[in-house]
Every structure is written in structure tokens, then in C-alpha cells.
Structure 1
Amino acid sequence: MRRARVIAEHRAPDRPAIRIAPGDAVTLGERDSDWPQFVWTTLANGLGGWIPSALFDRERGDATAQQDYDTRELDADIGELLTLHYELADWWWAENTHGASGWIPARAIEIIE
């Protein structure tokens, strides 16, 4: 696994994280202006969040999830060290030294070689 240092503070949005699993029916809305790989995704229960559009069988409207995904983001402070697990759509699934995990944007970290 790779390691990284946080170079820009990151805070999770103030909304509940959502999860999808293969076969879940969702409704896809608009693309994010800052992260065009992400589409606003609404679950059957009405909760929504930003999920990479590549994880669905369609680009817009009613769609079916093709992979597991969790929208949880990781709060991180400048200078913090993280363990990186995998990258998707310019975000890393990362873990901090306290064991908390979630997504952090690639632009907020520098990889330690």
C-alpha cells in the first residue's frame, strides 16, 4: 500500500454517506461541475450523493449500479499521514493513523515514495 501526506485540509460534506451495491436501482441527475466524473445519485429511499458515473449502466435517469461504492469521505488535516488503498475518479480510499477510512481527493494529498 502507498502512503501519502495531506497537503490541503479536507472535510466531509454535512450529509449522510450512502452505499450502493451491484443491482441497486438508482436515479442519476446532474454531473458535478468540479468533478465531472461524478453524478448526483438518488437511492430509492430518497437519500443522495455524488458517485462516479462509470459505476452505472447508464449516464442519466433510471440506472442500475454495477459495483459496490460508499460515499463516505475522510476528514483530514494538513500534515496528516494516510495509507492509500485504491484510487477511483481522482479520489483515494484512504485510512488515517486512528483507523478511520473514507475518500479524499487526490489533489489534497502528496504521495510519499
Structure 2
Amino acid sequence: MKRARVVAQHRAPDRPAIRIAPGDQVTLGERDNDWPQFVWTTLASGLGGWIPSVLFDRDMGLATAQRDYDTQELDADIGQILTLHHELADWWWAENERGASGWIPARAIDIID
């Protein structure tokens, strides 16, 4: 398992995390300016969030999810040590020393082993 040191503070956005599962029908909108691999995804419930576009069967409009995904981001402070689980679209699913998990951008961490 890889570990990393946080080199730039990261805070989750002030909106609820959303989850998708294979077969979920969603509506895809605009691409993110800073993270062009991400597309604004709206669930049938009306909740939305940024999800990597590679997880869907098309690029825009009505789409079907092909894999599980959770938009939960991990709050992290400079100097914290995280355990890294897997990477997708320049973000890592990470876990802190207290056991909290979520996504953190690769540019906010330095891998140490």
C-alpha cells in the first residue's frame, strides 16, 4: 500500500457526496475547467457532483454508469500522512490516520513510499 504526505491543504466542497452504481441513469452536463476529465453529473434525485467521464457510456446528456463511484472527498491538512488505495483521473482514494476515507487530488500530495 502506498503512503503520501499532504503538501497542500484540501477541503471537500460544501455539498452532499453522491454515489453511482453500474446501470444508474444520470444526466451529464458541463466539463470542469480545472479537471477536464470530470463531468457534472446529475442523479434522478436532482443531486449532482463531479464524476470522471470515463465511468459512463457517453460523454453528454443521458448516460448510464458503468462502475461504482462515490464523490466523497477527504479533508486533509499539510503534513498529514495518508494511505493511498487507488487512483482515478489524477485523484487518489485515500485514508487518514483516523480511518476517514475520500478522494484527494494528486497535486495535493507527495507519495513517500
TM-score bracket, normalised by the shorter chain, equals: over 0.9
1:3-52 Cα distance to aligned partner (Å, 9 max, x none):
00000000000000000000000000000000000000000000000000
Counterpart residue number, 2:26: 26
Counterpart residue number, 2:70: 70
Secondary structure class of the residue paired with 1:93: strand
Counterpart residue number, 2:100: 100
Report the residue type matching 1:95 in the other structure.
Answer: E
Counterpart residue number, 1:7: 7
Report the residue type matching 2:97 in the other structure.
Answer: T
Counterpart residue number, 1:83: 83
Distance across 2 between alignment mates of 1:32 and 1:74: 19
Tell me the matched-pair count.
113
Report the CA distance between 1:58 and its aligned residue. 0.3
Report the CA distance between 1:105 and its aligned residue. 0.1
TM-score (norm 2): 1.00
TM-score (norm 1): 1.00
Distance across 1 between alignment mates of 2:52 and 2:45: 20
Distance across 2 between alignment mates of 1:12 and 1:75: 6
Secondary structure class of the residue paired with 1:107: helix
Report the residue type matching 1:107 in the other structure.
Answer: R
For structure 2, the residue ranges without an aligned partner over 5 or more in a row are none
Distance across 2 between alignment mates of 1:56 and 1:78: 34
Secondary structure class of the residue paired with 1:98: coil
Distance across 1 between alignment mates of 2:37 and 2:50: 9
